[in-house]
Structure formats: C-alpha cells, structure tokens
Amino acid sequence: MIESMVTAIAANLDAILDGKEPTAEATWNAVCLADFGDGGVAFVAQPQIPPRNVNWAASGKWVHFAKIGFEKYFLRKVRKGESEPFYEKLALHVMGIKKLRF
C-alpha cells in the first residue's frame, strides 16, 4: 500500500513537471507478510479498505521464512538502487495486483 501511494506521488510529480495534469491514483491494494517470531500471517487485500474484491489470508511457519527472504531481497534492491525490477512488476501483474489507477 505504501509503495502504491509513493508511486502515485512520483507519477504525479513527473506529470506536473511536464506541465500536465496529475492523474495517477493509488489503488490501496495491500500485500503483507506479518512475522510473529516462528510463524506469521500473509494476506492480500484489494483494496485494503472494504468492500474488497480480493481477500486472502494464510498463516504458518512458512510466513516467517518468506519474510526473511523478502527482507534480504528488499535490502539488496535498496543497496543496488532499484525501485521496481521488471520481474517484480511481472509477478504483481501475474497476481493481478496493480499499484496505480489512472
């Protein structure tokens, strides 16, 4: 959700600097891995605020390992200065998750 809002701000700033009207709007879709020590909960909510079109949740020990993997991936991405690699954009597209609404 936060990435969606920041992406909308960046797209709108780009439009304003080009002398155009800002049209990007955040979708409020949420993808979350909540780690609780040895376990956790993963959920997808589209949009985050009800009524939702998609509402999925799962829990278990696998979420803890998924969170560790995501943290390593995210920190590597930040160190390399990549905002959204093509494979991340492709994965979200395959899952039907959009960051922006125009």
Per-residue pLDDT tens over the stretch 22-56: 999 988 888 889 999 889 999 988 877 778 788 88
φ, ψ for residue 83 (rounded to 5)? -85, -45
Contacts of 18 (CB under 8 A, 6+ apart): none
Q: What is the mean pLDDT of the chain?
A: 88
63 band by pLDDT with thresholds 50, 70 and 90 = very high
**Residue 1 confidence (pLDDT) above 80:** no
pLDDT band of 89, cuts 50, 70, 90 = confident
Number of domains the chain is built from: 1
Residue with tokens 């979350």: 32
Asked whether residue 71 carries a pLDDT value surpassing 80, the answer given is yes
Mean pLDDT of 76-93: 87
Average pLDDT over every residue of 43-70: 88
Domain that holds residue 42: 2-101
Rg of the chain, C-alpha, whole Å:
16
For the segment 64-77, the average pLDDT, to the nearest whole number, is 93
Q: Are strands 100-101 and 54-59 parallel, antiparallel or unpaired?
A: unpaired
The SS3 of residue 26 is strand
- CB contact at 8 A, 5 and 27: no
Tokens 């696998």, residue located: 62
Kindly state the tokens that stand for 50: 């009800």
Q: How far, in Å, CA of 23 to CA of 8, rounded? A: 9
